[in-house]
């Protein structure tokens, strides 16, 4: 395990219980509710969440009536999800332990920007592998107007991508049918959200 991964695990292990009790932001709640409505419209049966964290999105996804599976590289996160009666397993976003075409849809928020090197591309390929053709994938990451790497004071590593870069990278999954951003930093940092129909 790399030093970057060790720092991320330590950070999330230390704050997972606090995170479990936090309310989702209005923007996040709106997005996950819209995702659920989309799942119902296409009668999706099985949904994967990559980076399930404390299970805040997972609870909403499970309540949608779909079968839910979450993965996270943090054992503490997975234990927290299981305490909330969510089906969750320890796994990397770049090596999801499921067969090809296992899922109808996938959801990944605020996770994939932590992957160093070509980790983002690997994770996109894994989502494309495990979500069936015609499935729905929604991804949200912290981005910027330019590509950059940085480490926050708490030790977490980030790769921020430009809007063009994110949209270009996720095209490996299929057709980008929606893309939106909203600001989180006065220096140009913003959240990037994208919906893709897989091919």
CATH code of 76's domain: 3.40.50.150
Report the pLDDT value the prediction gives residue 142, as an integer from 0 to 100: 95
Report the pLDDT value the prediction gives residue 40, as an integer from 0 to 100: 86
Report the pLDDT value the prediction gives residue 165, as an integer from 0 to 100: 96
Between 115 and 27, the more confident residue is 115
**Structural tokens at position 188:** 């140009």
Could you read off the pLDDT of 73-121 as tens digits, one per residue? Answer: 999 999 999 999 999 999 999 999 999 999 999 999 999 999 999 999 9
**Does residue 29 surpass a pLDDT of 80?**
yes
Of the CA atoms within 13 Å of residue 15, those in its CB half-sphere come to 10
Domain encompassing residue 59? 3-198
Neighbouring residues of 129: CB distance < 8 A, sequence distance ≥ 6 = 96, 100
Could you read off the pLDDT of 1-25 as tens digits, one per residue? Answer: 788 788 888 888 888 888 888 888 8
**Does residue 46 surpass a pLDDT of 80?**
yes
Distance CA 154, CA 26 (A): 25
Distance CA 14, CA 154 (A): 11
Record the pTM: 0.94
pLDDT tier at 186, thresholds 50, 70, 90: confident
Q: Residue 40 CB: number of other CB atoms within 10 A?
A: 12
Mean pLDDT of the residues in the chain: 93
Report the pLDDT value the prediction gives residue 155, as an integer from 0 to 100: 86
Number of compact structural domains in the chain: 1
Distance CA 5, CA 87 (A): 23
3-state secondary structure at position 68: strand
pLDDT tier at 187, thresholds 50, 70, 90: confident
Neighbour-count burial of 82, counting CB atoms closer than 10 A to its CB (0-12 exposed, 13-18 middle, 19+ buried): middle
């Amino acid at each position: 395990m790399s030093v970057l991964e060790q720092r991320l695990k330590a950070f999330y292990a230390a704050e997972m219980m606090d995170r479990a009790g936090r309310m989702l932001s209005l923007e996040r709640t709106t997005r996950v509710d819209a995702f659920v409505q989309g799942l119902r419209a296409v009668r999706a049966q099985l949904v994967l969440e990559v980076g399930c964290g404390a299970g805040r999105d997972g609870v909403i996804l499970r309540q949608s009536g779909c079968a839910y599976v979450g993965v996270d590289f943090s054992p503490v996160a997975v234990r927290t999800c299981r305490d909330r009666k969510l089906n969750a397993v320890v796994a990397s976003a770049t090596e999801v332990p499921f067969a090809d075409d296992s899922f109808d849809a996938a959801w990944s928020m605020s996770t994939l920007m932590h992957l160093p090197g070509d980790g983002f591309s690997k994770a996109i390929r894994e989502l494309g592998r495990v979500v069936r053709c015609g499935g729905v994938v929604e991804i949200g990451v912290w981005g910027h107007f330019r590509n950059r790497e940085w480490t926050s004071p708490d030790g977490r590593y980030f790769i921020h991508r430009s809007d063009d870069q994110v949209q270009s990278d996720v095209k490996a999954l299929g057709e980008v049918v929606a893309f939106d951003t909203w600001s989180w930093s006065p220096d140009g940092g913003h959240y990037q959200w994208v919906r893709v129909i897989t091919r």
